[in-house]
Structure 1
Amino acid sequence: MGQTRWHIFTEDGALTLARRMPARFDVAATTVIEGGAGLRKARVAHQVRQDMWRALQNLRGFAPVVRVRSSGDDLEITAGGSVAGRFPKAETEARIRAVLDNEHHRARWGRYAKEAKR
């Protein structure tokens, strides 16, 4: 297997996880986890990326990007990425939206990313 290198950078309090640099959103969907500002952003980003990849792994030329930022007490997640070539944009956005709106996924992301008690 090849190396799996992900670019992680923070800018203005937002964490971005990307496969390729520069990170680019040719397609994207956004959701908000209410009361999620205390979750670890990197863990949320990796979980969202994994679920999005499972849904879009057959999309040729797809490179995932996930941006996570706190907005007050909430956590705003933008998921999508760049696509090399032509692709069905509306269908792809709908598939990303389905991943972001899946209650089972959201519950798992929250469990995995909870801040450790000190």
Structure 2
Amino acid sequence: MTRTSWHITRTDSVLTLSRRLPARFDVAAETVLPAADPLRLAHQIRQDMWRKLQRLRGFAPVVEITAAGQGLRVRAGGQVMGRLPANAAGLIADVLEDPARRARWIRHASRRAAQPDSRADAKDSHRFAAKIDMEAESAS
């Protein structure tokens, strides 16, 4: 069984995903995205940000998502325990403004709202198949 070490902090309109508590932004960039599942969106942004900045020594990603009208305001960045390069905020902004990434994040985060828990259906599919088989056998 896997254990997640990500801290998810929720208030009325803000979700924060961080590796360490308290969440701290030594470096950050912001953007606005259409409405979607904030937790799924935060994880997607964190993964792409980490891929871009994983060589930054002591970097601990933080993603903060705030409901803003019809969309979401995203602040991404994090805590840096070492020296902070001058271009770190620019690298994060590049990740946040990449059209292909944004489309993938929204597609992934919107899927949850459109589909009810499909994992439960997949988990119980053997029961449905067995029930169908039993009905077919009893009808013969």
User: Above 0.5 in TM-score?
Assistant: yes
Give the equivalent residue in structure 1 for 2:98: 102
Task: Give the match for residue 133 of structure 2.
Answer: none
Q: Secondary structure at the match of 1:86?
A: coil
Greater Cα radius of gyration, structure 1 or 2? 2
Q: For structure 1, which runs of at least 5 residues remain unmatched after alignment?
A: none
Residue number in structure 1 paired with 2:84: 87
Shift of 1:3: 5.0
**SS of corresponding position for 2:9:** strand
Q: CA deviation at 1:12?
A: 3.4
- 1:78 maps to which of 64, 75, 78: 75
Counterpart AA for 1:110: I
Deviation at 1:85, TM superposition (A): 2.1
| Aligned amino acid, residue 63 of structure 1 | A
Q: CA deviation at 1:69?
A: 1.2
CA-atom RMSD, angstroms?
1.5
Per-residue deviation, residues 6-42 of structure 1 (Å, max 9, x unmatched): 0001123110000001100000000001xx22x0000
Instruction: Output aligned runs, 1:1-118, within 5 Å.
Output: 3-33=3-33, 36-37=34-35, 39-88=36-85, 90-114=86-110, 115-117=113-115
Unaligned runs of 5+ in 2: 117-140
> 1:7, 1:29 → 2: CA distance?
20
Could you say what secondary structure the match of 1:58 adopts? coil
Deviation at 1:58, TM superposition (A): 0.1
Q: Percent identity?
A: 54
Q: Which has the higher helix share?
A: 2
TM-score, L = length of structure 1: 0.90
**Structure 2 CA distance for aligned equivalents of residues 84 and 3 of structure 1:** 24
CA–CA separation in structure 2 for the residues paired with 1:18 and 1:74: 21
Where in structure 1 do 4 or more consecutive aligned residues deviate above 3 Å?
none
